Chains A and B, each alone.
Chain A
Amino acid sequence: MTCAWVFGDNVDTDQIIAGRYLVKLDPHELAKHVMEAADPKFASKVRKGDVIIAGRNFGCGSSRERAPLALKTAGISAIVAKSFARIFYRNAINRGLPVLTCAGVRRGFKTGDKVRVDMLGGKVHNLSTGGTFKVEPLPDFILTILRAGGLLPYLKRSVGKAGR
């Protein structure tokens, strides 16, 4: 069963993956330090499929794509937040990590609650409390990229001729 990890507003990219780890290219090395500044226990406790629930402006700061990459590699299957910073949002989609916008979601969860994300139905369920939250629908072209697993797999499949 997948669990929720609840964070506040303005979770910046330095909290997600600190600058000193950015020399690493191996996603598994990055995943060991993911969210370290926000919650030092996160990296060792997060399980495959878990979901991050957050407040405003999630992912603000740097353009480092290792931020969504580290979260995805650590097992996070989706992030549901009140709002996202622009570059993080786009990077997450490009890495095939669903990012869903939902105004009231943060108050509806606490860390450890059982969660189910229904991306196509546009809903997030708190299975521990019975609460249901509507998320803003994603445009079709974003869903297509997510379904392919990210922008590069999508380009490889759909364009094929990209490499000249």
Chain B
Amino acid sequence: MGMTIAEKILARASGRKQVSPGEIVEGSIDVAMTHDIEGPMVVEGLRELGTKKVWDPSKIVVVFDHQVPANSIDAALNHVMLREFAIEQKIPDFYDVFEGICHAVLPEKGFALPGRLIVGTDSHTTTYGAFGCFATGIGSTDMVAVFTRGELWFRVPESVRMTIEGRLPKRVMSKDLILKIIGEVGADGETYRSVEFVGAGMRNINMAGRMTMCNMGVEMGAKAAIVPPDGLTTRYLRGRARGSYKPVYTDRDAAYVEERSFDVKKLEPQVARPYSVDNVGPVSEVEGIEIDQAFLGSCTNGRFEDLVEAAKIVNGRKISKRVRMLVVPASREVYLKALERGILAIFARAGALVEAPSCAACMGGHVGILAPGEVCISASNRNFRGRMGSPKGKIYLASPTTVAASALKGKITDPRDL
């Protein structure tokens, strides 16, 4: 019986020839990531368990990204705690407040490699699947077990195949595609499963776009979201990859529990209305809704390619007076590149606030908090009640181009109209 990419990776990591969905396996972890929100909980857990030394510092990555620089004494204390831990444990890949969002940093620094088994204390760890690895989010207690023993139990997930055909129309982005998919399958449509995005259409979507899609895999409940590696993957990894890697591919006779296909040729920009990510419709259904804030950033859509697409729309124009637009590059690498190419200047000239790399408004724990009744159009991944501040605030999720167009007009706007 053939295996899918997910099954092959879990088989390799658990030292087996064959695994099948439903089996429980103990996998050895190739990379384990934690950040400034869950990290302190992991440190507490390690203390409780009595772990003096982590299993392998070279396989651990620590990133400060959620509240950087610290915006409260509590946040500063959490940073101190985790910083001391990283130094004491001699973790070489510790990125303090300057590097960016974990899900941008790990791929940039070459940790997300084909065939690897990666865990992170963050649900959007699924992002790395864009590189053909099995990457999934876990809680802090599971991470205590990983930091201590280097292994974790997994239930081998069923696999789902989503075949993408066609090329995205102008100003329509992979964000629109993933929103469309989530709208169709539902917020729990793929719970516990591993979703593979395949097909000729995926070959036309760059690595940034693939990361956006895998990032939001978790918004349909998926345990992992995977794109089979190809030439684009290899090109991205050249000069970045940390060590060697061996891509794995699904066997011809592997089993999927579900198959779907999406043709993107005629896809319209999509928007997810409050308060759930699967409350999706074409932008025409929400056009004209007035907004107070526009957020371009996050681990979903804060990459260079996202900023470029949005800047094409903003260039030479002014952001509506009633809107505050926040532009937050996902990482220092993105920030520098956008700075050097004049992209940040386009936003600043238009009246946007350009912030240093961080999660920023995405989680309502740092900048860009909403007041009751306020509306935000956001390129991030969640529109839950209270996610960005007041539970009475409203978040509409959209692509970077839709966010940019809406910021200019002061209301939700179809980016194809500009």
Residues of A within 8 A of B (CB): 10, 12-15, 18-20, 22-25, 36-38, 56-57, 60-66, 83, 85-87, 90-91, 94-95, 150-152, 155-156, 162-164
Q: Is the CB of B44 within 8 A of A25?
A: yes
Q: Contacts A152-B49, A156-B49 hold; do A15 and B44 have CB atoms under 8 A apart?
A: no
Q: Is the CB of B38 within 8 A of A162?
A: no
Instruction: Provide a sorted-by-A list of 14 A–B residue pairs whose CB atoms are within 8 angstroms.
Output: A15-B386, A19-B363, A19-B387, A25-B40, A25-B44, A56-B188, A62-B122, A63-B122, A86-B221, A152-B45, A152-B48, A156-B48, A163-B49, A163-B52
Chain B residues near A95 (CB, 8 Å)? 141
Q: Does B192 have its Cβ within 8 Å of any Cβ on chain A? A: yes
Q: Does B75 have its Cβ within 8 Å of any Cβ on chain A? A: yes
Q: Does B206 have its Cβ within 8 Å of any Cβ on chain A? A: no
A/B pair count, beta carbons within 8 Å: 136
Chain B residues near A64 (CB, 8 Å)? 37-38, 139
Residues of B within 8 A of A (CB): 37-38, 40-41, 44-45, 48-53, 66-67, 72, 74-75, 78, 120-123, 125, 137-142, 144-145, 148-149, 187-188, 191-192, 221, 223, 276, 363-365, 369, 382, 384-387, 389, 391
From A19, A37, A87, A162, contact of B139 by CB (8 A):
A87
From A18, A22, A62, contact of B386 by CB (8 A):
A18
Q: Is the CB of B391 within 8 A of A36?
A: yes
A39 to B113 Cα, complex, angstroms: 43
Q: Contacts A14-B382, A83-B191, A164-B53 hold; do A152 and B144 have CB atoms under 8 A apart?
A: yes
Chain B residues near A20 (CB, 8 Å)? 364-365, 369, 389
If A23-B75, A36-B386, A57-B188 are given as contacts, then 5 extra A-B residue pairs at C-beta distance below 8 Å, sorted by A number, are: A13-B384, A15-B384, A18-B387, A37-B391, A94-B139
A85 to B145 Cα, complex, angstroms: 21
